[in-house]
Amino acid sequence: MVQSPSAEKDVIFFIVDISGYTRFIVSNEKEMVHSQIIIRDLINTIISEIKAPMQVIRLEGDAIFLYVDKGDPLVRWELVQPTLLETLITFFRVFSNKISELTLHKICNCNACNNVDRLKLKIVAHSGKTMFFNINDILELSGTAPIIIHRLLKNSVTSDEYVLMTESAFEDLMLPKEEVETSSESYDELGTIDTFIYYPPPTEPYQPVGGSQYPQIFVDTLRAEVKREYAVVAKDPQQGFHFHTGRRLAELLDYDKELLDQFPEKVIQSFAGTGNLHKLGKIKPGEYVLDIGCGAGLDSLIAARESGSEGKVIGVDMTSEMIEKARQNAVEAGVENVEFIEDYSEELPVPTEWADIIISNGAINLSPDKDRVFSEMFRVLKPGGRLQIADILVQKAVPDSARNNLDLWAG
């Protein structure tokens, strides 16, 4: 549905653009995933500093398209106008600090992670009149002002950090003339546009915030890499990995052969645990069981058989391919009292005091926030409930060089 355009508005537009984005995005799948995580983190950092009456029109890949309606009756333009330049400087400051943080906490040596410090910020600004209207709830703009500001993204400025303004925006931002350079840009159909260039002041050196928690970018990158690894285990278990999988692994871990033979081979082939948690105790009929990091579901299905029709098993895994295979395996095995949910071990999707027993096989070591995993276990476990866990343990402190090595985490 197309709505009629609203009345013409007098606005100042901004496009906050991450320069170096095109060469930063590369073809390798791992680097593509990591670069998108990094760009998203940088964009969110800037968005967190946007305050009314400045509003986001849309995100445009590596850029944020913003505006302030100078004629909004709820906005006192004479009070807002003097704050706009400081807001833009804040964008540069938080962007620079985030780049420093990402560099400090680098855990991967792919091109994307190694080249974070090459990303810079540029801002273009233009004031003019435009009309806003909706097409199927999508905000669109008409007039020359939106065209001009987007054309200004392609300019002749040689610096990689700046604010580029048209004359109208320069007047609105109230910059002293001695603080800007004058220039001009020429475009087909638009002709020559006089411009003003402002270089933001250097930011203060980044001061890391103390604390033991990993930054969210670390968590997101780690999760992406673990998902990528175990998606392959789910889809192509015969490919071969640096760890054992399938029936051979189950037999090495002393799973009962007669128990395994109760399941179709497809159910076993993507198994990737670290121990035999079933040796720790039998699951009783009628018990509710939570399997954390259930993978393709072998342990969940064994637990479901043991808990019987009065029992219930929920398997949780963060890898969608594993969850899909686990659901298929439940159908293949004819097991109905089991449910598989895609979620994180730090955010268990079950009610408080739901589980009689929690099982987990080789998944807790993959979490960077193990305290939170065990806190969630404590929340969902019934008083007097049981834990049966098989995992990897170390008997001495892990050095920072290993803690910050993505390949060791994901492996």
Whichever domain contains 74, its CATH number is: 3.30.70.1230
Tokens at residue 381, please? 């476990």
As to burial, measured by CB atoms within 10 angstroms (0-12 exposed, 13-18 middle, 19+ buried), residue 356 is buried
The number of CA neighbours under 13 Å toward the Cβ of 369 is 20
Percent of the chain with pLDDT over 70: 92
Residue 206 lies in a domain: no
Shared domain for 254 and 299, answered yes or no, is yes
Looking at the structure, do residues 335 and 239 belong to the same domain, yes or no? yes
Q: Are residues 191 and 227 in the same domain?
A: no
The pLDDT, as a whole number, for residue 112 is: 80
For residue 225, what are its two tokens? 């890499």
369: how many CB neighbours lie within 10 A of its CB? 16
pLDDT digits 0-9 by tens, 150-206: 999 999 999 999 999 999 999 999 999 999 999 999 999 899 999 999 999 998 888
Angstrom distance (rounded) from CA 317 to CA 345: 7
Q: Quick one: average pLDDT of 22-27?
A: 60
pLDDT tens across 223-257, in order? 888 898 889 989 988 887 778 889 999 999 999 99
Pairing of strands 55-59, 138-142: unpaired
The number of domains in the chain is: 2
Instruction: Kindly state whether residues 163 and 40 are assigned to the same domain.
Output: yes
Helix, strand, coil proportions of the chain in percent (round to 5)?
Answer: 40, 25, 35
* pLDDT per position as a tens digit, 296-347: 999 999 999 999 999 999 999 999 999 999 999 999 999 999 999 999 999 9
User: Domain boundary residue among 168, 198, 228?
Assistant: 198
Whether residue 228 is found in the same domain as residue 126: no
2 is a domain residue: no
pLDDT tier, 139 (very low <50, low <70, confident <90, very high otherwise): confident
Same domain, yes or no: 189 and 262 = no
Identify whether residues 26 and 148 lie together within a single domain.
yes
- Provide the sign of the torsion angle of the four alpha carbons 408, 299, 253, 236, taken in this order: negative
- Print burial letters for 34-73: b (CB count within 10 Å at least 16), e (below 16): bbebbbebbbebbeeebeebbeebeeeebbbbbbbbbebe
Do 16 and 43 reside in the same domain of the chain? yes
330 and 238, same domain (yes or no)? yes
CB contact at 8 A, 153 and 15: yes
What percent of the chain shows pLDDT beyond 90? Answer: 66
Residue 203 lies in a domain: no
Q: Which of 313, 263, 326 is nearest to 286 (CA)?
A: 313
One domain for residues 192 and 234:
no
Task: Say which range, 44-48, 92-96, 116-120, 250-254, has the weakest mean pLDDT.
Answer: 116-120
Question: What residue type is assigned to position 356 of the chain?
Answer: D
Residue 1 has pLDDT above 50, yes or no: no
Beta bridge partners of 315: 291, 340
Half-sphere exposure of 335 (CA within 13 A, CB side): 30
Please report whether residue 378 resides in a domain.
Answer: yes
User: Is residue 142 located within the same domain as residue 274?
Assistant: no
Residue type, 317: D
Pair 141, 57: CB distance under 8 Å: yes
User: Per the omega criterion (within 30 degrees of 0), is the bond before 53 cis?
Assistant: yes
* Tokens found for residue 385: 């409930």
Higher pLDDT, 140 or 254: 254
Does 98 map to a domain? yes
Strand partners, 227: none
pLDDT band at 391 (very low <50, low <70, confident <90, very high): very high
- What confidence tier does 212 reach under pLDDT thresholds 50, 70, 90? low
Q: Strands, DSSP E only, in 237-371?
A: 288-292, 312-317, 338-342, 355-361
Let me know if residue 122 belongs to a domain.
yes
- Domain with 395 in it: what CATH number? 3.40.50.150
Query: Which residues does residue 288 pair with via DSSP β-bridges, in sequence order?
Result: 312
Classify residue 207: in a domain, yes or no. Answer: no
> pTM, whole model, 2 decimals?
0.75
Rounded-to-integer distance, Cα 206 and Cα 228, Å? 32
Q: Are 99 and 237 part of one and the same domain?
A: no
Final residue in a domain of this structure, among 166, 198, 230: 198
Would you say residue 362 lies in a domain? yes
Mean pLDDT of the chain, nearest integer: 90
118 Rama class: left (phi>0) / alpha (psi -120 to 50) / beta: alpha
Last residue of a domain, one of 147, 166, 198: 198
The pLDDT score that the predictor gives to residue 392 is 87
Q: Are 126 and 194 in contact (CB under 8 A)?
A: no
Lowest mean pLDDT among 77-86, 97-106, 236-245: 236-245
- Render the burial of 76-101: b for 16+ CB within 10 Å, e for the rest: eeeebbeebbebbbbbbbbbbbbbbb
2 pLDDT exceeds 50? no
Q: Rounded to whole angstroms, how far apart are CA atoms 296 and 266?
A: 10
Q: Which domain holds residue 310?
A: 216-410
